[in-house]
Amino acid sequence: MSEHNSIINLDGEIIGRFRHDVAWSSPNRIRLGEYDDDFVYDNEFNVVAKINSNVVSNIIGEEIGMIAGKEILVNGKVVGRFIGSKKAAAASIALIFNVDGTRSV
């Protein structure tokens, strides 16, 4: 059974809702991509990131973020929190957060 996952920014706002391995922005419901236990995909099903336990890397192997407890980190700084699965939180690093902060959705 797939659980509902929420991605929350530092202001406490829900900015992503992930369910059934599909990522959606919130409150504007825009499909961001998909994910599984090992990879994150864009909407054309191209691999955009690799999930390795708590670390997320881009397609050339550079770390782009990590999960620590219920926090989402990019460049060693907390950029958000999550409710739900670690794989959804890991996918949010590639699909919502980037090295410059939060992507506008």
pLDDT for 3: 63
The model's pLDDT over 57-69, given as tens digits with 9 standing for 90+, comes to: 999 999 999 999 9
Can you list the residues of the chain whose pLDDT is less than 70? 1-3, 98-105
Domain map (residue ranges) of the chain: 5-100
Residue 51 CA to residue 54 CA, distance in Å, equals 7
Per the rule left: phi > 0, alpha: psi between -120 and 50, beta: everything else, 15 is alpha
Alpha carbon 23 to its chain's center: 8
pLDDT at residue 1, as a whole number: 40
pLDDT of residue 4: 84
Handedness of CA 33, 28, 72, 62 (dihedral sign): positive
Tokens of 48: 């955009």
Q: How far apart are CA 84 and CA 57, in angstroms?
A: 21
Calculate the CA dihedral of residues 52, 56, 62, 63 and round it to 10 degrees.
Answer: -110
